[in-house]
Every structure is written in C-alpha cells, then in structure tokens.
Structure 1
Amino acid sequence: MRHSVAVLACLVVVGSLPLSVAGASVNVSISEVEVSPSSPAPGETVTFDTTVRNLQSSDAALKINDIAIRKSGGRGITEYERVSDLGSIPPDSTLEVPLTASFDSSGNKDLRVIVYGRDRQTGEFVKAKYPVQLNVKERHPQVDITANDSVAGVESTGEVTVANGLDSQITNVEVVVEGDGVEMTKSRTVRSSIAQNGSITAPFRFRPESAGEHSLTATVSYTVAGDTTRTTTRSKVIESDPLRNSVELDTTAVGSGTDRALRVAVSNGANAPLSDVMVSATSENASFQRVLLENISASTTRQVRLNATMNEPRADVTVTATYELGTETEQTTTETTLRSVPGTIDLTGLDVVRQGGRLQISGSASNVGSTDADSVLVSVVDTERITPATPNRDYFVGTVPASDFVSFDVYARTTGNVTSVPLEVTYLVDDTRKTQRFDVDINQMGSAAQQPEQDGGSEGGNQNSMLPVFIAGGLALLVIVGVLVRRYRRSDDDIEV
C-alpha cells in the first residue's frame, strides 16, 4: 500500500505546500510525492511516486527533461535516482513519474525531488523542488530459535517462532534453518501470511555430527506492503552431548505347562531413543516368536512377551535385542532358563485298611504340575495274587486342577503273602494320555488293624455289632428313671411344708 506524503512522525515528512515555478508562460508544481514503503528497512527499495502538474494558468506546454531525487544539504551532491526525456505536459495536466532508491543505513534521510523542464513556447528553463524526509528503520518481525537437548548422531527437534510486530500483515513468509556441524533433516517452512500482531512456529529437525557446540541460523524472508521483500536472520548456539549406549534386558518366565513364554523388559538407559527394536530368543530345545517395537524413549522400559514352543522340559535360552541408536545398529543379550512343568499326578496321603479279605486303599490324586490333568483314573492292577474288589475296583477322579488334589478309594483282594498293591493312574495333559504306576507298600502303611467286612460275615459278628446299641439304650433308660424319681421326691417335700 502506498501512502501520500504528509507530515508523519518519524516516518515520511514532506513540505506542507507544493512548490511551483512560474515562467513567462508556464506555471508548474510538484503536487504530490507518495512514498512506499513508508517505513523502509536498510537496503530495501523505496519508491517515490512523483506527480508533476502544469497548472491551468499556464499558456504553454512544459517539456520534462529530468526528474531526480537527491540528498538535501551537506557537501557535494548525492543523487539516488534520475529519469530523463519524459515528454511534455499540456496546461492543466499532470505527469506521474516513479523514482526508486535504497539506503544502506538506518536513520533520518533529508531528500529533495527536483523537476528540470523547459517552456516549449519561450524555451526558458523551469525547475521545481519538493522536500521529502524519510526515516529508515531496522524493523523486522521478532525471530526466536528454540532447540531440544541434542546428542551427537541422533536426530533432534526445534522450532523457530516468528512474531509480526509490524504495522501491517506480512506475506510469503519463508523460514529456512541452517546449521554449523549439523545435518538438517527438515529445514524449510512456508506460510502464506502472518497477521499484524500474529505469530507462527516453524518446526525443524537436525542431527549433530559430533558432540560440542554448534550454531543454528534461521533466515526469515517475507513480503510487506508494496511487494517489498525483506530478510532477517537469527542465530543460536547449542550444546550437543556425546552418545551413550546403555540397554538392559530382564527376563521372567510366565505361563504354565507347555504354554510357556518369556516376558522380556527392555530398559533404555541411553541418552537417546531406540528405534526399530527387535526382541528375539533362541534355544536348542524351544522356539520363540519375535516382537518388533518401533521406539523406546530414553530412560523408559517396554515389556514384550515371547511365546515359546518347547521340545523338552528345560530350555537354555539366549535373549537378544537389536536396535538402532543414532546412526548405528546395536544389540544386547542375556541368558536365561525356561522350564516346562505340565500336569503330573502323584498319589499322596495313602492309607491302607484291611477289612477281612479286602484292602481299602485311600488317598489323594495330587497334581504337582502347573497345568490341569483331565480324565484322571486310579485303578487296582490285576495280578496273580491281587484282584480288584468291589465296591471300587477303580475310581474315576476326573479333572485335577494345577496344584490341587482330589481324594479316591479303591479296593483289592490279596492271596498269599503280599507286601504291596500296584495302582495305575492314567490321565490327559494337553490332549496327551499319560500312565503312571505306583506300588503301595502294605507293611509300611501302619494301618493293618483287622476289621470285619461290612458286606458279609457271621451272625456273631452281627450281634457284636449290635452290642453298643443295647448299651446306649440301657444308659438312656437309667437316666430317665433317675429324673422321674427326683421329681417325685421334690413333690413330696412340697406337701410336707
């Protein structure tokens, strides 16, 4: 936008009245000088749009030989711009001529626009002057650079803030960041405009090539009113730390039975983030899944689960984490052992009671593994001297959960000298049928008390079994008689009173 020249505080100051020169037949004046931009910066091109008028009172045309803009006062002549051979101006007509100039330094500039002409009727020379005062200022939007902590060889981030404190919006804003001893991975941002008193932030990314001090420089180019392009720069010194690699692995066995896995904690003690982290495990007796983690920030820990397929109950495992740190590929390892403990049935709390010609064997089917055991069946093994007996030749226990037990009872008849009774236990673990055999030592059970069988015997045995019932009945009768006698005596005492 162009501004008419007027008395402006610290900006552009011109004479309050246009100057005119009267020749014999020509009256000429410089009626107006518009200056754009009104607040130029050093090195910025300033345009002086000059309007020359041949007044209505003139009798002849005015030929314009030259129009110049000069420094006013001082020694010598400093001329910034001159245009020549501009043609003639008839009476009551005007001519607009743009003049341009730039100034290397800031400060007040006392200038003068001068018109050199000739009266075409008389041939006399005509000269007109117009004073202009211009204030050149170092005025730019405020620029600030911030950068995060950086490490040599590791990409870091920052941003440039551009705050427009000028008296109008700026357009075509371009921010470019360069570095000394750093690689810029994102350096340029473009914005269409920044409103008056508005601001923008321009992000950038950089990678220091080495530890130590580095300089970042932001160059901001923009356009102000009048299509004038300006440029300003701002620098900042940053300190980059040396890269420190410190990664630890911690493993924990999880799961149960054959469904085993390793929980791996990856702790990043480095001063930079880890990227493309691949966690894997190898073993001769097991295979493992691999897990990929994109990033692990500095001073943080991430956990992953590596599911295992085991070929043996025990597997010696090497766990490895491979990762990118800065521009280098690194890895760290640790050793651990993984054991598989499937459901396993053991017979515990065994007790043997002889009942006539039978042995009652009771106890618990205990699951000492870490997975469920299904379809558990305890049976007496039929041999030459041992025969399964009723009521329980075998006992279906069913499912025994991990680290739990279920009681059972089985019966056997023996012939001759027998010291142990064989029991067979079958069950399913992970859809696999397993069979175990246990020899129950009769002589060491400490429960060889002779007891008659309850499913048959002599009549004397039945009478003996009824004896406790008769005794209990007699005792009850004696108690009742005693109570009645006491009440009778108490009633007699009451009558005597």
Structure 2
Amino acid sequence: MSAVTRSAATIVAALVVLSLVTAAPVTAQTADETASVTIGQINVEPANPTTDSRTVLTPTITNSETATGSAKLTEVSIRSGSVLNTADNLGRLGAGDSTEVPLAHTFDTPGERRITVSARGTNPDGSVFVVQKSVYLTVDDRSTDVDISARAQSVNGSTGVAATLTQYGTVPVESGEIQLRSQGETVDRAPLSNVSGSQSQTVTFDGDTIPAGELTVRAQYTLTDEYQSRSTATTLQYNPQRAADMALTAIETTARGTTYTISGDASNLGGADANAVLIDVAAAEGLSANGGYFVGTVETSEFATFDLTVTADSPVETVPVRVNYSADGEQFSETVTVDVSDTNAGLTVDRDPRPQSGGSPLGGLPVTALAVGVLVLVGIGIVAYRWRRS
C-alpha cells in the first residue's frame, strides 16, 4: 500500500471514531441544570444550654423542589467568631432532598451567643455556593439544685402519695426514679425523665401498697452529661384518711303527726374540707323535705348542726337521709337511715301550746284544780298573818 493510501485510510478511521463518540449519550451535567440550597430550621438541644455541657445544633439543609440539578454538599459548619465544629463530604442533594447535620459544642463561659451555620458545596455547573443562617443562644452557668417534696392525697375516694421532683438549677434531669421506703425497705417506685431546669415532675403512688407511718421518699437520678447518679430525699408521716367522709352524729328525732324533725351534727371525718353540704331526704315515695337543709362548708375535723323537717304521706318507721357535698373538686353523696319509730303510734310528741278542750289558757289545767290551789295559798297566808300578830 502506498503512503497516500495509508494516509487516506487513517483519516477515514479517525472520522469513524469521531462519529461514534458524537453519537454516544451525554453523561455530564449540562449548563442549564441548577440547584438552590437553603438552610431551614436549626434545632438546639438542650433548648436552654449551659456551660460545661454538650450542646447540639442540628440544621436542616435542603435543595429546592424546583431545582433541575443536584448539589454536592461538601461542608457544614457552626461558628461564633471562630469555627466551633464542622462536618465534611455530606453527599449530593437532589431536587427536594434534605439532610440534617448535627454539630456539637461545649461552651466554657455563659452569655449571649450568635451562632452562624454555613453550608458550602458545588452547583451542577461546578460553581461553588455558600449559604448561611444565624441562631441566637443564651448560655447559662451550669448548676443543679434538685428538691423533692411529698404529700398524702385522695383521688376518687382512694388515698395515696404524690411526690414531686423539682430542678431549680439549669441542668436537666435526664432519667431516674422516685422510691417510697418504709422501715428501710422499698415498697413502691415510679420512673421520671426529662425534667428541664426550673421545671417539676410529679409521680403518684396508690395507697393500697403503702403502710401507715413514716415514709422516706427518695429520688435517684442522672443529670444530662453525667453518668454517675445522684439522690435526694424527704420524709412523710403517712396516715391514710379519706378526703371525703361526712357523718351524721348526735341524731335526735321528734314528730308531729306525720311530720318528722331530725336534728343533729354533720361531722367532717375526712382529710379535706367538705363544701356545699346539703342534708336532704333521699328519693322515696311519700316523703318530702322541701329542698332539704343547706349547711354550707364544714372544715376537716369540724361539725355543723342541722335541723331537717320531713313530711310523710303516712306514718313511717325510718327516714332515708342523704348528705350531698363536694371535696377536692369531686362530688359525693351518702345516705343514712334514721329510725323514727319511737316518735310514732299516732301520738304527738311536741306539746301543742294551744289549750285542750275544756282546759284553761294556763297550760291546760282544769278550773277546779286551779281554784283549790288558790284557796290553799290564801289559807296559808291567813295563818301566817295571825301568827305574826300573836
């Protein structure tokens, strides 16, 4: 083959290769692809950071849903004057994609902080983008002042103990438990967690498992960023007592025909004040108390007198008396049966002040008896007069 022929063959081969390359699919991003990266919400945990305690800032980095290309996220950092923390090589964000980047830092001193979050990366065309967003923090001195208190309580007529743990300091109580102890033994326990600074958490214990007497209420807990547990305790003298316990005492009954008067004391034997105390006849056919007798409030360990008048259609031997009241925001109703049989047999127990038939206005004494009494008094007066004259 001549030199000219070989040169021509070489040119033809080159043209064929060029044609194949031009026909192959394009894998590189084109110039019209765009990305739009923004920094959304920046979460701060804990919400009230303190010195010498780990604070985590988590920004959300998003590529717009309207983007036509992906963005390469190369770096996200937080800074306050100087760089506090950085994360690198975070991958690509397609259209509508988001990623959360947690970055931690421990502050040495308290005070106001302006933290700037920066996200750096490359656009589809290879150009570099940098977006920033700031968040403001107040860093408090790390302190702890945990207190526990306890009280006996009554819920729905059942007694128990309510224990409250309060963190007056700035460091959150991460987890722990409150224990009830009697004579050195744990009789019940309840978990607690996530008690922020200046916040409280209350747990309750059912009185069925709690013995009467002195109780030790102890909290064992772990603070945020600490591994060793702490404890604090208080004592409580526990004497189970119903919050609501009204009783009718010193009952006396009188009757006039089929009208019965029931008198006595409404005594509060419970552990809370009884409010809106109303003494009334319970629903029964043929009995009426015309709305009952309103007592009002009876403080704990106190009593109030009442005087209930009940009208019956016919003589009865017992009257159901109902006591309605409220205690600790709950409504209660108790019914007692009062025996009135001793006041019956159709007799009138109360004296009628009006004179009976054939009597006098002076208590119903007969006229003859009154006259004899007057003559006797006159005779005694005459004898005494003669004796003094002799």
Compute the TM-score of the two structures, normalised by the length of structure 1: 0.37
Higher strand fraction (1 or 2)? 1
Higher helix fraction (1 or 2)? 2
Higher RCO, Cα 8 Å, sep 6+:
2
